[in-house]
Structure formats: structure tokens, C-alpha cells
A = this chain, B = another copy of it.
Amino acid sequence: MVQEHLVIFQPSGSRGYIKEGDTLKEASRQLGVDIETICGEKATCGKCKVRIEEGFFERYGVDSRMEHLSPIEGREKKFFDKHEELAGHRLACVTRVYGDVLLFVPEESRAGKQVVRKSARDIPIEINPAVRKYYVELTPATLEDSLGDWERLQDELKARFQLSNLTIDYQVLLGMQEVIREGDWRLTVAVWMDREVIKIEPGLQEHSYGLAVDIGTTTVAGYLCELRTGELLATESMMNPQVSFGEDVMSRITYAITNEDGLDRMNSAIIEGLNSIARGITAQVDLTPGDICDVTIVGNTAMHHIFLNIYPEYLGKAPFPPALHASLDLKGRDLGLEVSAGAYVHVLPIEAGFVGADNVGVLIAEEPYNQDEMVLIIDIGTNGELVLGNREKLISSSCATGPAFEGAHMQYGMRAAPGAIEKIKIDAETKEVFFKIIGKEEWNTELEEVNAKGICGSGIIDAVANMFRAGVLQKNGRFSKDLDTARLRVDEEGPEFVIAWSNETSIGKDITISLADVRGVQLAKGAMYTGAKLMMRRLGTDKLDKVILAGAFGSYIDKESAMIMGLFPDCDLENIYAVGNAAGDGARMALLNREKRVEANQIAREVEYVELTVEEGFERDFAEAMYFPHMKDRFPHLKDLLPERVSRS
């Protein structure tokens, strides 16, 4: 009878009896402990280091820890410095059990590592990428055994790594025989979804890289990650090159419909843009685009369709059905992307006509479907996208906020760029204005030269909210009369309020907020508020537990100003979070954890899209929501922030 010995793995505490002579790696498999291995247990990668804690019966003197194991081998030693060796390190793949053993698996040897992302909540991402690398050594072909190279490789991958029914990418197949011989029958194989060999490299190649991309209407952001560790190696962003065909989604759809090669031109522009990001982001860490073995993509529905070269006509007219919702796995080369020849691109699913894969990215990053609280997620971009709900039910909608929050169509509006006024305070008594501009640390009053150029989105929200708070604006959006300040004045076009005097600007003119500007903000915020309110009515709730501001824009706006202005219904300010580019986070999560892709497809089908403009009472609700913060609704959490005359109402 074969003897068995007790083996205990720390820190998990997994334990069990293991056959004498089995390796520690075999023991870990039997006991469900994940230990990293790249080389297929050939003691050539050194990734399966474990530390022997005790051999249980310490009667053999100093190094009794090793008495219950096979002796340390020379090929192991080269992976340890002297310190590690003395501390009792061994390679799990070659160390065999001959007695009871207690051992510790260090963090870096654990296959299922965790990486932590900073955001509203710390979300741990379990590392479980779609692409994994495996190192194999093949027995060279002989006249007696002239099995084909691919079958030889498959047999080895099955024996070593239990990978069966694999296919191989056609382009990879074409060069396979040369690579195998170049590495002298030793090679590293990248496998996608345990299904398909998508890359073959000679010798041992530990690292694999992936690129997550968020295609925004205005900005395209890329994230380069190491797929095995989850590490974020580099980021790179650029203006969406399609901007020259139209600033917003509707104008690009129109461009595609009205120009014969419009779709092709916009598609080529974004593909070339992504190739440029791939080149730049890999160059930052001395890699090339060919090193990218996996790609994930999020974007709103129009960006999604144009990226895929799907004619967006039907997105642009009622009833707005997209070509598809489900995620897609396509070869990068079929899309024209210059990544590794066999690499797939995973395009995340979209929810409905106006709620795209970017929103799905936000959802899998924020996981409202795993929470009890009633969460409102607002993604503010050229379009506003809203998701409301909790683990019981989620609904989504979108509203045309127009470009007001982005500073367009306002007399002194501008993009968030150096020189833009981004923060504004107004003294309630004197109506004096204090502001900060992008690129400067100090407030305007502390600067010798201010040189403001205009106001960006967050500045506009601050301006309107604080003009209201200081009594410059009334609840209904009209300017107050007879205020004792030169900043409020009336010219031919109507009343306006001076934010920066001409001597504080680089444009030689006063920077002002006009009545027309305020009206634009009212329309935009009214649309968002109405959307949120109608959705709350749908779900039968009158209270928000949490508000999540997604989108890069959401990170810059002042949450107090946003609520004072009435961008969304009342909520405890402490439970309002800006999560930055959560869509990009979602893309990154789907890159690092394939389960997130499954989750995304499920949630994309489960979220119910509601078309708000056809909702009963929309017109009246919208009219009421034009007020600051609202005509009738109460804002208990603003009680201490607004003067009594306002918060009382």
C-alpha cells in the first residue's frame, strides 16, 4: 500500500493526505490550492516557489523542515538567492512529499492574484484573463514518430495543462513550424479562452499583454496591462479623430448617412487612432503593438457601431434598434488593428439604442446589481446615461443633455484645457467671484497674472450653482434684479453676470454667464433630473441611497454644486461619488477577468431600457425640473448649504 502524508497549505489552510512521492504541485491540485506555473512543471520558470514552514516532527536537527521532502535539486537552487534558500524555499513542481509538511504559498506564487483599484469603493479584480501563456517542451519528430507539429503540440498541452479540443489561429499556424524549430522544440503558447492558440513564441516567454480601450465620443483612452499580474503598465489617450466628422453622436450618424463613404472614413479614423494608441502605449514600456495579445473595447452605441463598421442609420431613427447587443469576439486583424496576428478583440455588449458598451463597463465596474442600496449612476458625456436600481432590478435610460456641460454653444464656454475656469465660488454678500483655472494651483486673487480664456463644464456648473446660492439667480433661472454689484449688468442681448474681468483674461474681454447660457444649463440639468425622477417612479422609490458620477467629466465637477443646481434628486452628499472613467475601468476588468465578460452579457440583457420621452407626464416633470434645484421636490441634504429663503421653499 502506498503511504500518505498530511500536507497543509498556508495561508489558505487547505489540508489533506497526499500519496508519498507526489510533488507539492500535485498536492496543491488535489487540495484545490492555486500555485502559479508557466513552464508546465519542468522547473524552468521558477514561478511555483513555496516556503516550507515545518516538517512536523522536528527531531532531525536544524533543517528538519526538509526531512520530509525530496532533497533540494541543483535546478531549483538557481531560482533562489541564499536568503530564500535558508528560509526554506522550494519549487513546488519538483519537490516530492515523503512525510507530513506545512508550507506557505507566497503571494507571488498564487495563480489567482488580486489587484486593487482605487475608486468609490475598492474593487478587487480577480486575475483570470482570457489569454494565458503556457511553456512546453516537445519531443522532436523522428522517422518513427513523424506526428504533425500541431498534433504534437496539442498532445503536450493536453498532458501538461489539461487543455483539450484546442484550435489554432490560421495565421499562427502558418508560422508554427518555423517557431517550433527556432526554439529548438521549446516554445511558449498563448491560449485564448482555453480554446484557441493565438500566439506561439520560441522558448520561455513569461509576459503577456492586453489593451483595454474606452472609445468616447470626444476622447479615446487606452490602458496597457500585464495579463498575468494585472499590473497597469501604461495609459494613453487622444482626442477621438472622428471629431472632425462631427462633435456629437447624432452629427456622426448623420455624416454616415449623408456621405457615401462617410462610415468608411470614420471607421478608418478610429482604427488608425487605436493603432496610434497601441504604438504609443507599448513604446512607453519598450514593447510593440505585436506584443498585445488581447483587447477589450467599450464605447457608446454609435461609437460601437462605427468602430465595427456597422452602418449606424437605424440607431439614428426611431425605434433605434442597434444591430446587436451581445458582446463580440473578433480577430484584431479583421478590424485592421495592428496587434498580435492571432489576437482577439472583445467588444463589450451594449444595452439599448442609446445606452452603450461604455455604460456596461460602468456597470461591471460598479456592480449595482450586487448591492442592496438604491443606486443612481450618471454618466455625463455628450449624452447623459442613467442607470437606476439595485440587486432587485436595474433600469437604464439616456437623455439628450446636449453639449451644455461641455462648454459648447456658450459664449465663453471651452473644453477642459489650460486657461479654462474650472472652479468658482461667489461671496453671498458682496457677490465677489473667486475662481481657479486649469494649469494653476492658486485662486485668481492670489495670482499676479490670471489669463483666463473661458469656462469649462465643471466651471459652468459651479458658476450656475453658486450664482443661485448667492442669490444672483432665482429659483426659476431668472437673474435677480437690483443687486448691488457691477458684475450683474444688462446689455442688448439681455442680462449677464461677469465671472472674470477683462484684466483677468487673456482674451481682452470680460468672461460672463448670460441668461442664454443659464437657459442651456437648465435644459441640460432638467433633462438629467427628469430622467432620474421618472426612473425612480418606475421603480417605485422616492429616495436615492447613492449617486455615482461616472465619466471623466464626473470626476471634475463639484458634487455639491451639482446637487445645488439640481442635476439629480436629493441624496446624502457623503454618498455621492465620482468614479472617474468607470467605463475604462470596466474595459480593464473585462480584460483581466473573463468572468466579467460573462457578467457583462448577462447584465446587458437584464437592464431594462426605458424610453423616457414617451413616459406619461414627461412634459410637466421636465418643466418643473428646470428650476434650481427643482420647482417642488425637497432637498433635505441641502438644508445647511442653501440660504433659508431657498431651502425652505
Smallest beta-carbon distance A248→chain B, Å: 21
Closest to A312 in B: B177
A323 touches B148 (CB 8 A): yes
- Pick from B176, B313, B322: contact of A323, CB below 8 A: B176
Shortest distance from the beta carbon of A541 to any chain B beta carbon, whole Å? 23
- Tell me if A334 is interfacial: C-beta within 8 Å of chain B: yes
B178 A148 Cβ-Cβ under 8 A? no
Is the CB of A319 closer than 8 A to any CB of chain B? yes
Name the interface residues of A343-363: CB closer than 8 Å to any CB of B: 350, 352-353
Q: Which of B311, B318, B328, B611 contacts A178 (CB 8 A)?
A: B311
Q: With both chains docked as a complex, state the minimum distance between the C-beta of A502 and any C-beta of chain B, in angstroms.
A: 50
Q: Which residue of B lies closest to A605 (CB)?
A: B151
> Would B142 and A319 count as touching, CB distance under 8 A?
yes
Restricting to A42-88, which residues have a CB under 8 Å from any CB of B? none
Complex CA gap A27/B538 in Å reads 45
Given A178-B311, A334-B170, are A149 and B609 neighbors across the interface (CB < 8 Å)? no
Task: Give the CA-CA distance A152 to B151 in the complex, in Å.
Answer: 40
Q: Any chain B CB within 8 A of the CB of A309? A: yes
| Bound form: Cα–Cα A318–B143 in Å | 7
Interface string of A137-159 (1 = CB under 8 A from B): 00001111111111110000000
Whether A147 touches B310, Cβ cut-off 8 Å, given contacts A170-B334, A328-B170, is no
Q: A170-B334, A177-B311 are in contact. Are A324 and B141 (CB under 8 A)?
A: no
Residues on B with beta carbons closer than 8 Å to the beta carbon of A160: none
In the bound complex, how far is the Cα of B141 from the Cα of A314, in angstroms?
Answer: 10
Given contacts A146-B319, A311-B178, A319-B143, contact A173 B609 (CB under 8 A): no
Closest CB of chain B to A148's CB: distance in Å? Answer: 4
**When the two chains form their complex, are residues A146 and B353 in contact, meaning their CB atoms are under 8 A apart?**
yes
Decide if A326 touches B150 in the complex (CB within 8 Å). yes
Chain B nearest CB from A634 CB (Å) reads: 33
Contact in complex: A325, B170 (CB < 8 Å): no
**Nearest-CB residue, chain B, relative to A313:** B177
Bound CA–CA A258/B78 (angstroms): 44
Contact with A320, one of B146, B308, B314, B334 (Cβ below 8 angstroms): B146
The CA-CA distance from A148 to B351 in the complex, in Å, is: 9
Measured CB to CB, the nearest residue on chain B to A331 is: B170
In the complex the two chains form, what is the Cα distance from A130 to B351 in whole Å? 33
Complex Cα gap A325–B152 (Å): 10
A319 touches B170 (CB 8 A): no
> Which single residue of chain B is at the shortest CB-CB distance from A611?
B143
Let me know if A324 and B146 touch, CB within 8 A: no
Given the complex of chains A and B, what is the CA–CA distance between A313 and B149 in angstroms?
13
- B314 pairs with A177, CB closer than 8 A: yes
Complex contact B609–A146 (CB within 8 A) = yes
- Cβ–Cβ < 8 Å partners of A239 in chain B: none
Residue numbers in B under 8 Å from A314 (CB-CB):
149, 177
The residue on B at minimum CB distance from A354 is B146
**How many Å lie between the Cα of A148 and that of B328 in the bound state?**
14
Set of chain B residues within 8 Å of A290, measured between Cβ atoms: none
| Those of A280-328 within 8 Å (CB) of chain B | 308-311, 313-314, 318-326, 328
- Residues from chain B with a CB closer than 8 A to the CB of A147 are 321, 325
Contact yes or no, B319 A150, CB < 8 A? no
In the complex, what distance in Å separates the CA atom of A254 from the CA atom of B282? 40
| Contact partner, A325, options B145, B150, B176, B328, Cβ 8 Å | B150
Whole-angstrom distance between the Cβ of A113 and the nearest chain B Cβ: 31
Asked whether A326 and B170 contact (CB < 8 A) given A146-B319, A146-B320, A146-B321, the answer is: no
Which of B148, B334, B614 interacts with A324 by CB under 8 Å? B148
Kindly state whether residue A417 has any CB partner on chain B within 8 Å.
no
The smallest beta-carbon distance between A217 and chain B, in angstroms, is 20
- What would be 21 A-B contacts, judged by CB atoms less than 8 Å apart? A143-B614, A144-B319, A146-B320, A146-B321, A146-B609, A148-B324, A148-B325, A148-B326, A149-B314, A149-B322, A150-B326, A151-B326, A168-B324, A170-B308, A170-B328, A173-B328, A174-B310, A176-B323, A177-B310, A177-B314, A177-B323
Known A-B contacts: A143-B320, A151-B325. Give 14 more (CB < 8 A).
Answer: A141-B319, A141-B321, A142-B319, A144-B611, A146-B321, A146-B353, A146-B609, A148-B324, A148-B325, A150-B323, A152-B321, A173-B323, A174-B311, A177-B314
